[in-house]
């Protein structure tokens, strides 16, 4: 298998540094026309510098690839719409969207301002919503699209001091789960990457000695497959970092069925607690309706 993106147009947010830059370089080297988006701010989202996106676009061009820079703020509806419009105006289509842009404003929930909470949600979650919403009609019209969200272990499992970041990152899983259903008949896949990488954001978490093992390019290998024509999977969460790759799923245990016509009390739930939380035989569900069907199937068995 040799994956390429010839004649494909890719939009990558937050591509002026780190993971986004690695994604952009990989796709461009394999034939994609790339829009490199980056506001050029600091890790906390303050400031702006159009030179960040332009520098990566220039680097791609110097390597023989095709790229243009964009410095719009995707945390605004107008900025996201401008970004997608620029890609479409330049090359007539949008095939790949990698929602990678992100910022950090870490504090314990008790000490965090609501401004800091909302700002992080706007970049990670709403920025992904705005960009995807702008690209979606184009992908539907051409019956082809590859959308990649970026989540985090902080969202999947939690991390102290990252309630804003974690909420945004888990919100993207819910967005993916709906869009995988809606995109299916239009040949649009929507997947999510959970990266561990030595980037500007990672530098605040990982010790210096492990940073060389956390090359962003190792994550981009997974991203590159997920946004390729070869990959038809949709609704997948893939963890990637330091050469490690794994599927992540939200699963539900086999549970317990109590008589709905009976007297179900908090005391009874407490008595059954160990059985309720037993994860032996846990399984994922394809859609919300499957959970409802399982509830009623349990009723029939009773």
Residues 142 and 16 in one domain: yes
Mean pLDDT, residues 200-216? 78
Q: What's the structural domain count of the chain?
A: 2
User: Could you give the CA distance from residue 155 to residue 152 in angstroms, rounded to a whole number?
Assistant: 5
Banded pLDDT at 301 (limits 50, 70, 90)? low
CATH number of the domain within which 220 lies: 3.40.50.720
What b/e readout covers 87-103, taking b as 16+ CB neighbours within 10 angstroms? Answer: bbeebebbbbbbbbbbb
Q: Do residues 178 and 285 both lie within one domain? A: no
Asked whether residue 1 is assigned to any structural domain, the reply reads no
Among residues 58, 59, 38, which one has the least CA distance to residue 49? 38
3 state DSSP class of 3: coil
Rounded-to-integer distance, Cα 136 and Cα 213, Å: 36
Q: Are residues 175 and 263 in the same domain?
A: no
Global pTM value = 0.95
- Range 212-223 burial, b when 16+ CB lie within 10 A, else e: eebbbebbbbbb
For residues 278 and 138, membership in a common domain is answered with: no
Which of 206, 230, 248 is the last residue before a domain boundary? 248
Is residue 51 very low, low, confident or very high in pLDDT (cuts 50, 70, 90)? Answer: very high
Assess whether 166 and 210 both reside in one domain: yes
Q: Structural domain of residue 286, as residue ranges?
A: 251-301
Tens of pLDDT, residues 82-125: 999 999 999 999 999 999 999 999 999 999 999 999 999 999 99
Same domain for 197 and 89: yes
Residues 181 and 257 in one domain: no
What is the predicted pLDDT for the residue at 133?
A: 99
Residue 191 pLDDT > 60:
yes
Whether residues 29 and 174 fall in one domain: yes
The answer to whether residues 243 and 257 belong to one domain is no
Residue 293 pLDDT class (50, 70, 90 cuts): confident
Interatomic CA distance for residues 138 and 66, integer angstroms: 21
**Distance separating alpha carbons of residues 56 and 156, to the nearest angstrom:** 31
Task: Please state the rounded mean pLDDT for residues 179-183.
Answer: 98
Enumerate residues 6+ apart whose C-beta is below 8 A from 216.
18, 19, 21, 22, 195, 197, 198, 199
Catalytic residues, which ones? Answer: 165
| 63 and 183 assigned to the same domain | yes
């Amino acid at each position: 298998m040799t994956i390429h993106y010839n004649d494909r147009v890719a939009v990558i947010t937050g591509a002026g540094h780190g993971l986004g830059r690695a994604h952009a370089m990989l796709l461009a080297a394999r034939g994609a026309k790339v829009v490199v988006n980056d506001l050029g701010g600091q890790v906390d989202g303050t400031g702006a510098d159009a030179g960040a996106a332009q520098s990566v676009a220039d680097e791609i061009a110097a390597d023989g690839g095709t790229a243009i820079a964009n410095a719009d703020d995707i945390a605004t509806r107008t900025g996201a719409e401008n970004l997608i419009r620029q890609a479409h105006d330049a090359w007539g289509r949008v095939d790949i969207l990698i929602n990678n842009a992100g910022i950090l404003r870490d504090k314990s929930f008790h000490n965090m301002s609501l401004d800091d909470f909302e700002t992080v949600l706007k970049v990670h979650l709403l920025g992904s919503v705005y960009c995807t919403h702008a690209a979606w009609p184009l992908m539907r019209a051409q019956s082809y699209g590859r959308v990649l969200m970026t989540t985090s272990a902080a969202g999947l499992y939690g991390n102290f001091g990252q309630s804003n970041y974690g909420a945004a990152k888990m919100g993207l899983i819910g967005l993916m789960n709906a869009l995988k259903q809606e995109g299916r008949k239009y040949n649009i896949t929507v997947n999510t990457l959970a990266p561990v990488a030595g980037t500007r954001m990672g530098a605040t978490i990982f010790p210096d000695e492990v940073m060389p093992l956390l090359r962003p390019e190792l994550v981009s290998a997974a991203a590159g497959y997920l946004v390729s024509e070869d990959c038809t999977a949709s609704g997948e969460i893939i963890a990637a970092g330091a050469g490690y790759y794994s599927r992540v799923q939200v699963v539900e245990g086999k549970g317990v069925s109590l008589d709905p016509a009976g007297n179900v009390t908090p005391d009874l739930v407490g008595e059954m607690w160990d059985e309720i939380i037993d994860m032996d035989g846990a399984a994922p569900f394809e859609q919300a309706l499957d959970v409802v069907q399982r509830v009623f199937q349990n009723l029939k068995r009773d």
